Structure 1
């Protein structure tokens, strides 16, 4: 680790005398510093590699590769230290103190260390990328070709950032509209259920009214039938009595026989 830091220090000092372009610390493959992780197929990778070589020199590429390797070794070193500490029995179980610190204090130190590491990485990336960007936007008379070739990339980056912001705004607007429509749909669905319940209730009331109406008409018809039947019985009885008492031989006449006998049978 110390040898790597000593070999990296001269490169860091010498890199301050010229511009190195974009620092792609998060998207670089530590095992192959000239390989990009971006998409676009083999042709896209080759074009990006050629573009990197035109902007970054061999020394800058080596510097970035060593930086990635240094970070990777730092993580591995901390893992080895933690494993060695666990094997030696210095760590305790849950609720026990480790190195004189409680679990809560260790968590707080871990949060602070993580924040400091992130801040350090952001500062280094800003330092590596800021100077070349300023040199490309405000070039000097003696600016190198690599420095000037960075300006189209910055313009493309700004255009992509603006497009991304515009698309993000449209997406947010569409999501807001979708949420509003979903809310309206739910409200209309609830209203639809209420109206369906009201329609069902009204239908049941209508059926009951029909039954009541039918029952009333049936009773009226039955009463009319009974009244007509009583009237017919009285009329037929009077007719039979008149025919029988008249002394007419009604047995010989079929019509009179039907009146007298039919009325008696009925």
Structure 2
């Protein structure tokens, strides 16, 4: 949401959506500029209030929100919102670019100057090994303090340099300079992207919570699978056939060993006979592939009988 026009109301006059004024008789005006919506975005006009601290009065701001970006809109396409960024050339003139370049160069020179001064400020006297650790700790502490002071100063300067043009672009109204009028659509687009960033952050938080819940359920399922696997292994061990060597009765064990020998001999004879019959059928030239019985006899698995 970005305010794009200003109209001061006396005594805190309030504008109702229908159009009439309450608690004030000031007239209203149309917005000073129309937001530049890219393809697919349609705007709805509204009003918002802010307290003008500098002038001690309440002012009304026109603002516009794309209808397909309202909170009740279920699907906000990333491509559609990213298309709200400006495709126009930069509003900075050559003089503005030169000023910014000189500002960056000045910051680099200041930093180099500080480094040179710190290097020359080092004492030339020899330091004993016992005092090296203490001096290093003191130097690290001073470096951290200097870095913090440097960053704070830069942030304050940048905030002042950035905030002043933004406030003038938003609140100047008809008195805005051409540069401030050019800056206003960019501020509007920045707010649109900020709104979308908030939506993405909320979606990401919801997705992260869902992933955490799924991971927790997965851990519980893995533990349950381990328990079921242990139970299954126990059942398999319990139903495992008893080996001949485990039988305690010598007579029964001897009978089982005899039967096992006879079974192995019978399997060997069956394999030999099956191989001979399969070779005869294949070598006879008979179309055994078309006959189901012959096909099963030739291609039958020899390991079927164990």
TM-score by length of 2: 0.46
> RMSD of the alignment, in Å?
3.7
Q: Distance in 1 between matches of 2:106 and 2:125?
A: 27
CA contact (8 A) 1:136 1:151 kept: yes
Tell whether 2:256 aligns with 1:190.
no
> Which consecutive residues of structure 2, in runs of 5 or more, have no partner in the other structure?
1-86, 256-306
Superposition pairs of residues 131-146 of structure 1, within 5 angstroms: 131-146=164-179
Superimposed CA distance per residue, residues 26-59 of structure 1 (whole angstroms, 9 cap, x where no aligned partner): xxxxxxxxxxxxxxxxxxxxx66x3232xxx444
In the TM superposition, 1:197-236 aligns within 5 A as 197-207=230-240
Distance in 2 (alpha carbons) for counterparts of 1:95 and 1:154: 58
Alignment coverage as a number of residue pairs? 168
Which structure has the highest strand share of the two? 2
2:96 paired with 1:96: no
Deviation at 1:102, TM superposition (A): 3.0
Q: Equivalents in 2 of 1:142, 1:104: separation in Å?
A: 56
- Structure whose CA Rg is larger: 1
Following superposition, the deviation at residue 169 of structure 1 comes to: 1.9
Q: Does structure 2 conserve the Cα–Cα contact (< 8 Å) formed by 1:95 and 1:103?
A: no
Q: Note closer, same or farther for the CA distance 1:93–1:209 as it changes in structure 2 (3 Å cut).
A: farther
| 1:52 lines up with 2:91 in the alignment | yes
> How far apart, CA to CA, are the structure 2 residues paired with 1:115 and 1:78?
14
Scaled by the length of structure 1, what TM-score is found? 0.52
Gaps of 5+ in 1: 1-46, 223-266
Q: Hey, which of these two has a bigger chunk of helix by percent?
A: 1
Indicate the residue corresponding to 1:70 in structure 2. 106
Q: Specify the alignment match of 2:142 in structure 1.
A: 109
Distance 1:170 1:106 in 2: 45
SS of 1:51 mapped into structure 2: coil
How many angstroms apart in 2 are the aligned matches of 1:91 and 1:144? 62
